[in-house]
């Protein structure tokens, strides 16, 4: 058995240990991505092997919390991919206006930038007052960031540009208050957002959603876990509800493909039709 085979066995045992000890299931995440992040953490912590990492995380909770931040993918920004939000505004919002009350699930919300983007869009379209947003992530550290709504001021130039490209109708500065090196999102944006812990690998459905957003999460899952997540979304959507995935993701080639029609194909926006 060569070193590569041994490393793969070590990685499997590490992920099993994380699941059994802490309840976080990375066993069906894309192996190449997980392996890169584990190797990064090995160097960062000065550990000689994955087996040494396994031993440490079993007995050192603070080490596991650091590892968790590296294993869970938290890449996001306000109005990320502005063309997506423009398509949402033009093609989905008009249909949502026909509902007396809206339920939206933002799965894998990370530190919340895209959730607040959605809240802003809904406010500008006159829908926020009759909407409940469920923003979920498995990582409690980034969930707290999302609840706090505090972001680095150095990113505001990019966020403002994204907002404008996404069809923003007001001044973006109306939605936050600046404090030295950070900004705090307006309290009114949080009123109808419920932040909660949810793991797409192990937890269940959210019922009767009108819109589900899970963008740039499935690319880190293997085929089995992608199938599980898409099943959750299918079961959680009402008829004629909308599903939004990331630019490199698709409902096509899954067994749920026939249950969805394209709304904006290039932006991966779908509508459940069965």
Query: What was the pLDDT predicted at 130?
Result: 97
Spatial strand order in the sheet of 150-152: 150-152, 182-185, 176-179
Tokens of 6: 């041994």
Rounded Cα–Cα distance for residues 24 and 17 (Å) = 10
Tokens of 159: 């966020």
Tokens of 54: 């396994």
Q: What burial class does residue 231 get, using C-beta atoms within 10 Å of its C-beta: 0-12 exposed, 13-18 middle, 19+ buried?
A: middle
Please write the tens of the pLDDT for every residue from 100-127.
999 999 999 999 999 999 999 999 999 9
61-71 and 31-45 helices cross at what angle (nearest 10)?
130
Q: What percent of the chain has pLDDT over 70?
A: 98
Spatial strand order in the sheet of 102-107: 193-197, 131-137, 102-107, 209-214, 237-245, 269-272, 260-264
Residue 1 has pLDDT above 70, yes or no: no
DSSP annotation string for 62-73: HHHHHHHHHHS-
Q: Over the Cα atoms of the chain, what is R_g?
A: 20
Task: Enter the pTM of the model.
Answer: 0.87
Please write the tens of the pLDDT for every residue from 199-216.
998 999 988 999 999 999
CA count, 13 A, side-chain hemisphere, 193: 28
User: Average pLDDT of 38-46?
Assistant: 90
Query: What was the pLDDT predicted at 113?
Result: 96
Residue 179 has pLDDT above 70, yes or no: yes
Rounded Cα–Cα distance for residues 38 and 25 (Å) = 15
Q: 121: Cβ–Cβ under 8 A, 6 or more apart, which residues?
A: 85, 88, 89, 93, 166
Tokens of 264: 């904006």
Residue 91: band (very low, low, confident or very high) from pLDDT cuts 50, 70, 90: very high
Rounded Cα–Cα distance for residues 212 and 206 (Å) = 10
- Domain layout of the chain by residue ranges: 3-71, 82-272
Please provide the CATH number assigned to the domain covering 82-272: 3.40.50.150
Highest mean pLDDT among 26-30, 35-39, 63-67, 80-84: 80-84
CB-CB contact of 66 with 37 (8 Å): no
Tokens of 91: 């093609």
What three-state secondary structure class fits 46?
coil
Please write the tens of the pLDDT for every residue from 139-170.
888 899 999 999 999 999 999 999 999 999 99
What three-state secondary structure class fits 184?
strand
């Amino acid at each position: 058995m060569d070193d590569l085979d041994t490393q793969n066995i070590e990685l499997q045992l590490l992920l099993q240990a994380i699941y059994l000890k802490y309840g976080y299931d990375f066993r069906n995440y894309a192996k190449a991505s997980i392996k890169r992040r584990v190797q990064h953490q090995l160097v960062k912590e000065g550990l000689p092997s994955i087996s040494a990492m396994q031993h440490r995380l079993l007995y050192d909770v603070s080490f596991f919390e650091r590892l968790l931040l590296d294993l869970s993918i938290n890449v996001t920004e306000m109005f990320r991919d502005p063309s997506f939000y423009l398509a949402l505004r033009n093609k989905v919002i008009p249909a949502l206006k026909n509902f007396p009350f809206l339920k939206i699930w933002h799965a894998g919300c990370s530190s919340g930038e895209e959730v607040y983007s959605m809240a802003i869009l809904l406010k500008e379209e006159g829908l926020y007052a009759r909407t409940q947003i469920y923003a979920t992530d498995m990582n409690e550290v980034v969930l707290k960031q999302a609840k706090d709504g505090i972001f680095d001021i150095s990113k505001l130039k990019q966020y403002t540009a994204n907002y404008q490209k996404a069809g923003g109708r007001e001044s973006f500065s109306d939605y936050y208050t600046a404090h030295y090196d950070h900004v705090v999102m307006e309290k009114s944006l949080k009123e109808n957002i419920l932040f909660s812990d949810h793991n797409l690998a192990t937890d269940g459905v959210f019922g009767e959603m009108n819109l589900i957003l899970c963008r740039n999460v499935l690319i880190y899952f293997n085929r089995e876990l992608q199938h599980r997540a898409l099943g959750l979304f299918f079961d959680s959507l009402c008829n004629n509800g909308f599903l939004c995935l990331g630019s490199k993701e698709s409902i096509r080639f899954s067994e749920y493909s026939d249950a969805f029609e394209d709304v904006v194909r290039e932006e991966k926006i779908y509508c459940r039709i069965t």
